[in-house]
Amino acid sequence: MLWACLRLVHLPLDALHAEDARHPHVVVEGSGPRRHVVLANEAAAKAGARPGQPLAGAQLLCPRLAATPRDEAAERQALEAFAAWAYRYSADVSLAAPDTLFLEVGASLSLFGGWPALERRMRGELDRLGFAYACACAPTAAAARVFARCRDGIAVPAAGALQAALATAPLAASGLAAGTVDTLQGMGLRVLGDLFRLPRPELARRIGQAALDHLDRLRGLLPETLPRWQPPARYERRIEFCYGIDSQRALAFPLQRMIREFALFLATRDGGTQRFELRLEHEDGACTRIEVGLLAPQRDAASLFDLARARLERVALAAPVHALALHADDLPTLSPLHRDLFDMNRREQLDWPALVERLRARLGDAALHGLACVADHRPGRAWRFVSLDAKSPAPMPVRAPRPFWLLQRPLPLRGAPQRVISGPERIESGWWDEGDRRRDYYVVEVRGGQRAWAFLESGSPADAAAGWTVHGWFA
C-alpha cells in the first residue's frame, strides 16, 4: 500500500473563488461579536490577520479587509470534485473532512510509471485547477497526512524509512487531538520521535489508548480503516448563458462540451448511460425537456452527441434559451459486446445498434418496426408491426398466392378485371369479433397488365362486371 495525501490548504478561500489575491480578504465563521477569522489570504496575513482572531481585531489591523462568511457546502462540493478527479488515478479514494483527500496509489504505480511520474502528472493537472494544495505520499494514510501537514512534496515510499521520517515531524502536525498535543508540549516533547522513544504503558496512561493507537497507525503497526469514496450514481451539469440563444445550431457547441464532460464522467465510472434528459431553460422559469433514450447503454462521446443533437433539432424553440442542463439518473454498467475472434458479422453487430439509435433520434422512436405474421385468415389481420428484434411466430402455411403489397384500405376496381388468373379462394372468418368477412379472393390481371389481389363479396359469380375490390398488388 502506498497512500498519497492531498491537502487543500486554502480550501475555505479557494472554494469561494476569491478573485483578487492582492486585496486583503478573510473567511470568517461564527455570528455577532464571536465572528472570527478562519483563513486569511496573503495580503490580509501580511497586514496581521491570523486564524482564530476575532473579526473586529483583524479589521482594526487592516481597515480595507473584506470578510466573507465560510461556505462549508461549497468546500464539500469542491472536495467531491477533487475526489472525482482523483478517481482516475486510483480506485481507492477517501475523503477526510474538511480538506483532505487520500488515494491509494500503490496499485496504480506500474500503470503510470512510478511515483515521481505520477506525481508530476497529478501536479500538472492540479496546478491548472487553481487550488493551493500540499501533496505527500507514505505507506500509511495517517503518515501521508502528517507529511502533507508539514510540507508539500514529501515522499517516503519505503516502509523501512517511515519511522525515521516520522520521528522528525513536529507534534502539531501529528494529527493527535489539540489537547493531547498541548499536554505533550507541556512535558517538553516537540517531535514524534520523542514519543516513539517513551515506554508504551507510561504513555498510554498519560495520553490514553486512542492516541496510542493513532501513533501505531502512523507507523503501520495497526491497520487503518478509511471510508471509500464512490462516484455519485447520478449526473447533473448546467451551463448558463450570458444571453438568450434562439438557434439550435448555436446550442450545439455548449451541448458538445457538456456531452464530452459527461462521457468522461461515464468513462471514469466505467459505466454507460441509457437515458438522459436535456433541459433548455427559458427566461421566465419555463423549461423545455428533451428525453434521450437509448436501446443499450453507451458512453461514446461522439455518438451520444449525435443522438442528442438530432433530438434537439426536432424540438422547436419556443423562447430563447438561457441555460442548458443535462441530467442523468440512470447510469447502468456498460457491458461491452463479446465477440468471436473469427466472427464474420463483426461490423454488423457493432454498427447496428448505433444505426438504429441514429435513425430513431431523427425519425422518432416509433419510426422503426419489424414485421410479423399473425395466425388469422383475414388478410388485414394476418400481419402486424412489432418492435425490433421481436420473435415472429411461424406463419400459417397458405397454399394460395399472397401479394407483396397489401392495401390498408381496399380500393374498388373500376369495371371488371381483364383476366382472372386464379381463384376463387374463399376467406370466411371473424364471426367472433365483429370483423366478420366472407370474401372470394382472386388473382386478376387488370387493364395495364398488372396483377392484383381482388375480392368479391362471397356469392357473386366470378364473371361479375362490378363489385371487384383490390386488396393487394403482386408487386
Q: Is 350 in the site for other proteins (CB under 8 A)?
A: yes
Q: Is 369 in the site for other proteins (CB under 8 A)?
A: yes
Q: Is 452 in the site for other proteins (CB under 8 A)?
A: yes
What's the rounded Cα separation, in Å, for the pair 319 and 270? 37
* DSSP for residue 379: G
Cα distances from 177 to residues 27, 65, 183, 402, 466, in angstroms, run 24, 32, 10, 89, 104
Specify which residues 275 forms β-bridges with. 293, 330
Of 24 and 472, which has the nearer Cβ to other proteins? 472
What the block records as the C-alpha cell of 64 is 480595507
Of 1 and 315, which has the nearer Cβ to other proteins? 315
Q: Is 385 in the site for other proteins (CB under 8 A)?
A: yes
According to CB under 8 A, which one of 161, 210, 233, 355 is a site residue for other proteins? Answer: 355
Of 267 and 354, which has the nearer Cβ to other proteins? 354
Considering only 78-86, 246-254, 315-323, 343-351, which stretch makes contact with other proteins by CB under 8 A?
343-351
| Length of the chain as a residue count | 475
Considering only 110-118, 172-180, 371-379, 426-434, which stretch makes contact with other proteins by CB under 8 A?
371-379
According to CB under 8 A, which one of 9, 264, 352, 410 is a site residue for other proteins? Answer: 352
Please, what sign has the CA dihedral across residues 14, 20, 21, 24? negative
Of 235 and 453, which has the nearer Cβ to other proteins? 453
Considering only 4-12, 155-163, 186-194, 393-401, which stretch makes contact with other proteins by CB under 8 A?
393-401
Neighbouring C-alpha atoms within 13 Å toward the C-beta of 241:
19
What's the rounded Cα separation, in Å, for the pair 299 and 219? 43
Cis amide leading into 461 (omega within 30): no
Which residues are CB-contacts of 179 (< 8 A; sequence separation ≥ 6)? none
What's the rounded Cα separation, in Å, for the pair 392 and 373? 7
Q: Is 391 in the site for other proteins (CB under 8 A)?
A: yes
Q: Is 47 in the site for other proteins (CB under 8 A)?
A: no
Of 230 and 345, which has the nearer Cβ to other proteins? 345
What x/- string results for residues 85 through 124 when contact with other proteins is judged by CB under 8 A?
A: ----------------------------------------
What the block records as the C-alpha cell of 428 is 370466411
Contacts (CB under 8 A) with other proteins, residues 405-434:
405-408
Q: Is 177 in the site for other proteins (CB under 8 A)?
A: no
Q: In terms of DSSP bridges, do strands 469-473 and 451-457 run parallel, antiparallel, or are they unpaired?
A: antiparallel
Which residues are CB-contacts of 52 (< 8 A; sequence separation ≥ 6)? 36, 37
Residues that bind other proteins in the complex, under the rule CB under 8 A: 345, 347-352, 354-355, 358-359, 362-363, 366-373, 379, 382-385, 388-392, 395-396, 398, 401-408, 445-446, 448-452, 472-475
